[in-house]
Amino acid sequence: MRHALSLFAVLYGLWLVLSGHYTPFLLAIGVVCTAFAVAVAMRMDVVDHEGHPIHLGFRIVLYWGWLTIQILVSALTVTRIVLSPRPRIDPVLETVPSSQTSDLGKVIFANSITLTPGTLTTSVTTDGIEVHALTRRGMDQLKEGDMDRRVTAVEGGS
């Protein structure tokens, strides 16, 4: 029930932000539509700790901030490589170890890799995450494990 109430609050907040109109009628319609959406999500059995991970709390918000910076830095690096008169591209396909214990943690890690320009998750296995990197340096940075440690911390590990 906690997940359903949290989902309701998030969806209704989104309704308010996107609507921009705060008349009593539209506020009531927003409550009805949001309640309907939550009821459908509950009926589909997608309102759980993975579908709406409120247990991650503030840790995920801090991680998103760090990830945004990594995305910007990687975007600049890839832009510099691509616009270079002699691009030094050295594509690599390797498996990066992952220390996450839950499926949600592995998904966060895999998606974070894919969101970062110059790297792409190709497969998630029990051994780790197979990644295609544009350069050897990009792969080496991933293997250093900073992103892995941060995702594990978000997940609730060390």
Query: Which pairs with CB-CB distance under 8 Å and at least 24 residues apart come from 68-72?
Result: 70/116, 70/147, 71/115, 71/116, 71/117
pLDDT of residue 17: 92
SS3 46: coil
In the predicted model, what is the mean pLDDT of residues 23-46? 91
Q: Is the pLDDT of residue 122 over 60?
A: yes
CA neighbor of 34 nearest in space, from 52, 7, 53, 54: 7
DSSP 93: E
Taking the CB of residue 96, how many other CB atoms lie within 10 A of it? 22
What is the value of pTM for the model shown?
0.74
Residues 6+ positions from 124 with CB-CB distance below 8 Å: 106, 107, 110, 130
Q: Encode pLDDT of 58-104 as tens digits.
A: 788 889 999 999 999 999 999 999 898 888 888 999 999 999 888 88
Q: Where are the domains of the chain?
A: 2-43, 59-155
